[in-house]
Amino acid sequence: GQNIDQPTEMTATEGAIVQINCTYQTSGFNGLFWYQQHAGEAPTFLSYNVLDGLEEKGRFSSFLSRSKGYSYLLLKELQMKDSASYLCAVRDSGGYNKLIFGAGTRLAVHP
Amino acid sequence: KAGVTQTPRYLIKTRGQQVTLSCSPISGHRSVSWYQQTPGQGLQFLFEYFSETQRNKGNFPGRFSGRQFSNSRSEMNVSTLELGDSALYLCASSLGAGQGAKETQYFGPGTRLLVL
């Protein structure tokens, strides 16, 4: 079966660092994506990993370990505008652009 | 470059009716995927179209269908609406370069469908 797990909610303080974990068990794997979704808006692309290791992009970094079926999204220097849901998604290897999404992690950033 | 557009943005229907949603991808993008988002199930893949052909399908009943036109615009149709079809329907476009490519999907704002 297909299973992607993320924590449901997290809270953090402005200026801090937060790590959002994602574990997956899928029948195929062709890359892992992180999306950010503000309430009432469309998901926006944050990062993509297909090889093991860390990808850094400004305040956001994403890590992947394929052998462990594990990824995390690291957000540094948190800002209030980072309050949003963060979605982990695996692209199915047989499915071109078929993305399998986790339920998402709602992050609340407090002053 | 204009983003993905979806029409209508909001829709109210009653049980048993049918509905058609439209998606215009980013210029140059040939792949359009559709997703359903509900609070209980999250984002679930419906189907993907590329060059007017459905090349992948999720686990939804046959009441959900779609098509793609030669200009890459896509429509999805839901027939015999049920209360459980109330959801945000998102479409996403990408280049459509094929398997293994580092291809990113860009989402439209969605159509919020309420079935009464």
**Tens of pLDDT, residues B26-45:** 999 999 999 999 988 889 99
CA pair distance A35, B12, nearest whole angstrom: 28
User: What residues of chain A lie within 8 A of the CB of B109, using their CB?
Assistant: 41-42
Answer yes or no: do A95 and B48 touch at CB < 8 A.
Answer: yes
Average pLDDT over chain B, rounded to an integer:
92
Please count the residue pairs, one from chain A and one from chain B, whose beta carbons lie less than 8 angstroms apart: 64
Q: Residue A36 is which amino acid?
A: Q
pLDDT at res. B99? 55
Regions of chain B where pLDDT drops below 70: 1, 98-102
Answer yes or no: do A42 and B102 touch at CB < 8 A.
Answer: no
pLDDT at res. B41? 85
User: What residues of chain B lie within 8 A of the CB of A33, using their CB?
Assistant: 104-105
Q: What is the average pLDDT across A12-33?
A: 94
User: Which residue does chain B place closest to A89, by CA atoms?
Assistant: B43
Task: Name the band, by pLDDT with cuts 50, 70 and 90, for residue A96.
Answer: confident
CA-closest candidate to residue B31, choices B111, B91, B109, B112 = B91
Residues 6+ apart with CB under 8 A from B49: B31, B32, B33, B55, B66, B67, B68, B74
Answer yes or no: do B92 and A31 touch at CB < 8 A.
Answer: no
